[in-house]
Structure 1
Amino acid sequence: MHYHLRHLNHRWNHKKVYRIYTSMGLNLKRKCKKRLPARVMEPLLQPIHPNITWSMDFMHDVLSTGINFRSLNIIDDYNRECLGITIDTTLNSKLVIRQLDQLVGWRGLPQKIRVDNGPEFVAQALASWADDRGVELKFIEKGKPFQNGYMERFNRSFREEVLDAYCFTRIKEAQAMAHAWMWIYNNQRPHQSLNYKPPVTFLEQHQKQSNFPTFIADENCNWEKLVNASTV
């Protein structure tokens, strides 16, 4: 700016130009993009047991009233079971942690959680939550959603069969439909990757063979409780 004014034949020195520049509030900091650490690509393998790897991701949609909302989807990579769908207008890292705590209360802790590089997932609050519980956050490479393929396949089904199939006027309507669809998805809908069995049926057969703790749905079919098979 000082040299530009000199070319316009103004002979003010650089100190005066800078003093006026700052008094007008023009000395703003440049916005720099947050640099993410290098992500390592890992093969997308099906775990051999439940609670080894979970995947979670966000989806976006809009109500008929024009209000935007988001959904937080969480699945278990082992049997593609949907563990939870949370819908709200705002979902930050604190709400993500609260949802994870609810799932851990009946499902147990996973060893890993696969996520993308969204601001809610790279937040320090989620990193501290994972470190305190010994959970490893596995970040996919930027711009490569296929590295979270199980989650992307679930999102496509949820998009086609719920978000694009219905017109919602309220958040509660979308949440109720999501819970109803989640129960059908887990308990009735056959999956080709699971030898055409629903996720819950596939998990129950595995539990009988390996004597693994059993997950039983409660009366409302919205959440599930963890029951140790050895104590039944």
Structure 2
Amino acid sequence: MRLPYGDGTRCYPLTILDDHSRFCLRIEPKSSTIGVKESFIQVFEEYGLPDAILSDNGAQFAGFRRGITQFERYLMDLDILPIHGRVRHPQTQGKIERFHRTMKQEILRQTPRNLLEADRLFQYWRWKYNEIRPHEALGHRPPASVYQPSTRQLFEPRPYEYPEGARLCKVNNWGYLRFGPFRVYLSETMADTYLEIRAGDADTFQVCYRNFQIAEIDANTGVRLNRNIRKL
């Protein structure tokens, strides 16, 4: 979502919503998409770690070359599953899309002049939305009456130990993984990282980082079949 400021610049609000309770954990006006990871760290410190995060396909979340992003790797280091909505299919993120529509209707009748004014509007709206505004899907209760923080606390990731006998291959400095006759691009984010290669189903290989499958490879052609991440 992009919003114009009165001074001619644009705002890219970062909005984080709890899927179960619709509780808004954060609304932050940003002048660019830089600093998304740091914003999520602050949310994790305050509210704990989720099991998964559903995001759109913006570059900071899904990357330009369909490689693993720094944000995705960080989530996996915290044992969080990154999930992306289908391209050009906003219904996948229906709750956040409805949240954005309501936010625009109720607080953006006037264009904020700058980032500071936008932040004041956002924080007031977040308080009203969480604490006062009834939600039909919650039995006309506000999200704050339903939301429960996660019991999983933020931690410093440690090196991962793969099972004894696992087939490991190292990603080179350019983000490519070579195994057998094949060379597959994953991401510069994974450079110098050992990944596990597992036999999949029907002539495929699974490329695994920690306890996540990050790619599926055709064993006959070396073509990457998908970049969907799933937890093992």
Range class of TM-score, shorter chain: 0.5 to 0.7
Unaligned runs of 5+ in 2: 64-68, 152-232
- Partner SS for 1:121: helix
Amino acid paired to 1:131: M
> Which residue in 1 is equivalent to 2:17?
75
Kindly name which structure, 1 or 2, has the bigger radius of gyration based on alpha carbons.
1
The structure 2 residue matched to 1:131, chosen from 56, 76, 80, is 76
- What is the TM-score of this pair, normalised by structure 2? 0.60
Q: Please list every run of at least 4 consecutive aligned residues from structure 1 whose deviation after the TM superposition is greater than 2 angstroms.
A: none
Q: After the TM superposition, which residues 209-220 of structure 1 pair with which residues of structure 2 at under 5 Å, given as runs?
A: none
Give the percent of matched residue pairs that are identical in Structure 1 and Structure 2: 28
Structure 1 unpaired stretches of 5+: 1-58, 214-232
Aligned partner of residue 83 in structure 1, secondary structure: strand
Of 56, 67, 86, 2:28 maps to 86
Structure with bigger strand share is 2
Q: Counterparts in 2 of 1:77-226, with a 5 A limit? A: 77-92=19-34, 95-123=35-63, 124-163=69-108, 165-203=109-147
Cα displacement (A) at 1:193: 0.6
Q: CA deviation at 1:203?
A: 3.0
Aligned alpha-carbon RMSD (Å):
1.6
Q: Deviations over 1:5-61 (max 9, x none)?
A: xxxxxxxxxxxxxxxxxxxxxxxxxxxxxxxxxxxxxxxxxxxxxxxxxxxxxx101
Deviation at 1:64, TM superposition (A): 1.2
The 3-state SS of whatever aligns with 2:29 is strand
- How many residues get paired? 146
CA distance in 2, matches of 1:61, 1:135: 30
For 2:101, what is the secondary structure of its paired residue?
helix
Give the counterpart letter for 1:177 in structure 2. Answer: L
**Cα distance in structure 1, aligned partners of 2:55 and 2:12:** 16
Name the SS of the counterpart of 2:146 in structure 1.
Answer: helix
Distance in 1 between residues matched to 2:43 and 2:138, nearest whole Å: 23
> AA paired with 2:11?
F
Report the structure, 1 or 2, having the larger helix content: 1
Contact residue 21 and residue 147 of structure 2 kept, 8 A: yes
TM-score by length of 1: 0.60
